[in-house]
Structure 1
Amino acid sequence: MATEQSLNTFISKLPESFPIDKDATMNAFKSMAAFNERFAGIAIDTASRTNEITANTTQESLSRLRELTKVHDDASEYGQAFVNFVQGQMNLTRDTAEAYGKVLGDVREQTAELLSQAGETAKETAEAEVKTAAKKTTSRAKSAAKAPEKAVEAAEETAEKAEEKAEGENA
């Protein structure tokens, strides 16, 4: 039956059974922070660029509306102003779509590069962790294999001391 002492010993040694490499943990944290910083930078740059495109498009549309609503001397000029407005808006829509497409293409490229680098970093870290764990496991297995030998040696020494003590008492 387990005693309170043996339970306390077990619990006190439990953290050693699951060692945490503080350096590896800190490196993982720093790596994630760097990834998040770059990912957030891509998102913020994208928002800024698309906001700029939208603002320019809005300004140009309002300028065209101003031209459309001006007073003209001849009635036929209103028709021409409307045609100019529609053509201008079509061109503006095309240019805006191209600008958004360029931004999205850049974002796709930057994100793919970031994810590729993160995957490579994760692979390298995992390989290093596996090698470290393998070395520790091998070392512990060797130590565990030697433990029975040490126990046998200790038992033999105890038996020898017991024999010597018994011989001393018989003499």
Structure 2
Amino acid sequence: MNTTHDTTAMLKEAMTALPIDTSAAEGAFKSSAALNEKISAVALTASEKSVAISQQWTQQSLKSLSDVSKAKSEPTDYVQAMTDFTAELSKAATEHMTAFAENAKEAQTDTLELLMAASKNFGEHATSAAKAAGKDVASGAKTIATK
């Protein structure tokens, strides 16, 4: 006659023999949260700088436009004012686009540095966790084998 095995008891025994260390998962969560915080700080700083550049550009453009909109005594003065306005706009565009590019480059560099540091840290933790898990599994397997 066939006997029914108590799988619940077997699973409980196996789980007791193979303890699970949740500290690795907790550590991974904390590391991930810290990395996300740092990356968010880089993104927010870059956004703040971008807004400042845009605001400065807008203020310069409006000031230049107010100079163009002033009444002139001679028709040629209007042409000169438009020429000056266009030249100032062109110069401002070059300066501000360069500032945007520098801001993006700085954010990219900071992000890459954070990711490289996190990758190195992750590799070290993964190696030590794998070694610890290997030891735990080996001792748990021995315990199960002896029962």
Query: What TM-score does the superposition give when structure 1 sets the normalisation length?
Result: 0.77
Q: Which moved more, 1:16-25 or 1:87-96?
A: 16-25
Residue in 1 aligned with 2:100?
Answer: 100
Q: CA deviation at 1:142?
A: 4.2
CA distance in 2, matches of 1:142, 1:18: 10
Which residue number in structure 1 is paired with residue 35 of structure 2? 35
Give the 5 Å matches for 1:102-141: 102-141=102-141
**d(CA) in 1 for partners of 2:41, 2:114:** 11
Partner of 2:26: 26
**C-alpha spacing 1:8/1:143, structure 2 compared with 1 (3 Å):** closer
Corresponding residue of 2:87: 87
Deviation at 1:94, TM superposition (A): 0.1
Asked if residue 48 in structure 1 is aligned to residue 48 in structure 2, the reply is yes
Higher helix share: 1
CA distance in 2, matches of 1:78, 1:116: 56
The range that moved more, 49-58 or 7-16, is 7-16
Structure 2 match to 1:10: 10
Larger radius of gyration: 1
Identity across the alignment (%): 27
Give the aligned residue type for 2:38.
R
Distance 2:14 2:136 in 1: 17
- Give the distance between the partners of 2:14 and 2:51, measured in 1 at CA: 55
Cα gap change, 1:17 to 1:97, in 2 (>3 Å): farther
SS in 2 for 1:139: helix
Cα RMSD (Å): 1.9
- Structure 2: where are the runs of 5+ without partners? none
Superposition TM-score, scaled by structure 2 size: 0.89
CA distance in 2, matches of 1:29, 1:144: 31
Alpha-carbon shift at residue 18 of structure 1 (Å): 6.0
Which stretch of structure 1 is more off in the superposition, 127-136 or 105-114?
A: 127-136
Q: Matched residues in 2 for 1:137 and 1:97: separation? A: 58
Could you tell me whether the CA contact under 8 Å between 2:42 and 2:110 is conserved in 1? Answer: yes
Distance in 2, Cα, partners of 1:17 & 1:87: 78
How many residues are aligned here? 145
